[in-house]
Amino acid sequence: MTHRIVTLPGDGIGPEIMAPALRVLEAVGEFEFEEHPFGGASIDMHGTALTDEVLDRCRNADAVLLAAVGGPKWDSTDPAKPRPEQGLLGLRKGLGLYANLRPVKPLPALYDASPLKRERIVGTDLLVVRELTGGIYFGEKTRTADAASDVCAYTRMEIERIARTAFQAARAKVTSVDKANVLETSRLWREVVSALHAREFPHIALEHVLVDNAAMQLLAAPRHFDVILTENMFGDILSDEAAMITGSIGLLPSASLGGDGPGLFEPVHGSAPDIAGTGAANPLAMVLSVAMMLRHGLGLPDEAGAVESAVERALDGGLRTPDLGGSDDTSKATRAVLDNLFVPL
């Protein structure tokens, strides 16, 4: 069976890391690729970060693979001007993607690449489950010359469905992160999560942690966490913080999933316009996003495992891109992964 993948290279280093991802996919199976402009590239071509046509093509694909969006070229404080990030928010909403999964598992070969002490990160294996379609990013926005507001709103349904995803993914414990000592949305969040836990998942441990304490504990004792469940903005911040446990944000993949439609798979890092065109981009987070697509989006766990093992073997063999303290460029990193890729029969 040939799977149809919509690819969105986007901006900055996006096209540079998309190319290695496609080479890896071609090595493990048969896929049909359909590329479209997205983010800043789409703004330049069409005046909007996501066109209706591209959204429709994404809806009809088996999976969507995104590289990166954004850059100073499109930065503006003018609310009337389109921004690349609007395309990402629109794509998530348009595909009904409400659950963002970000695994954080430092590899032994890179323990010393983390700014945290080795003894703190050894054995860390956590998953951030972030709600994607509600909260302050999607609430009503106002702006005058002297004031602005962003509404943070959540419904019981939105909270329950993301909480269910977290409990289903957990091995032993869910840490629900909120700000219930201040925010009314967080009080509803805590109430709904607790009720779902008692009703459907009493065999999974549940703890509630305030977001500021969670941020501290992520660095002080990351092994403490199994699954971190949190709302949209808190999850955005905490998952980027968690990247430092692995040594580089250039290593973290993500999957955005919803109902019956295609999932969206992308690296956690941004478009890194400062290194675009230099050949220094680390493609490993993009390659690991391919693995998440194979596993969660296309039902190909053996192929996903092969890709993940290839990345680990490449790093064990000494591969180090500049963000990891080495000098290996994008091309060499790609070659190292492909040389260590053993495709299951």
Q: Would you give the DSSP letter of residue 259?
A: S
Percent of the chain's residues with pLDDT above 90: 85
pLDDT of residue 285: 95
Kind of pairing between the strands at 173-178 and 63-68 = unpaired
Answer yes or no: is pLDDT of 96 > 80. yes
Candidates 11, 98, 111, 137; catalytic one: 137
Give the whole-angstrom CA distance, residue 67 versus residue 14: 5
- pLDDT-derived band at 75 (thresholds 50, 70, 90) equals confident
Q: What is the pTM (predicted TM-score) of this model?
A: 0.89
**Average pLDDT of the segment spanning 157-183:** 97
Share of the chain above pLDDT 70, in %: 100
Q: Give the chain's mean pLDDT.
A: 94
pLDDT category of residue 36 using cuts at 50, 70 and 90: very high
Annotated active-site residue in 173, 240, 329, 332: 240
Given 11, 236, 323, 328, the catalytic residue: 236
Q: Which residues contact 104 (CB under 8 A, 6 or more apart)?
A: 124, 125, 126, 127, 128, 222, 239, 242, 243, 245, 246, 252
Q: Which H or E run contains 101?
A: strand 99-104
Catalytic (active site) residue 212: yes
* Residue 339: strand, helix, or coil: helix
Task: Note if 260 is an active site residue.
Answer: no
Burial of 12 (0-12, 13-18, 19+ CB in 10 A): buried
pLDDT digits (tens, 9 = 90+) for 293-315: 999 999 999 999 999 999 999 99
User: Residue 182 — φ and ψ, nearest 5°?
Assistant: -130, -45
Catalytic residue, chosen from 179, 226, 323, 328, is 179
Catalytic residue selected from 44, 56, 112, 212: 212
Binned at pLDDT 50, 70 and 90, residue 179 comes out as very high
pLDDT of residue 311: 96
- The neighbouring-strand residues paired with 264 are 64, 256
**Residue 98 designated active-site:** no
Predicted local confidence at residue 345, as pLDDT: 64
214-220 mean pLDDT:
96
CA distance 316 to 115: 19
**240 is a catalytic site residue:** yes
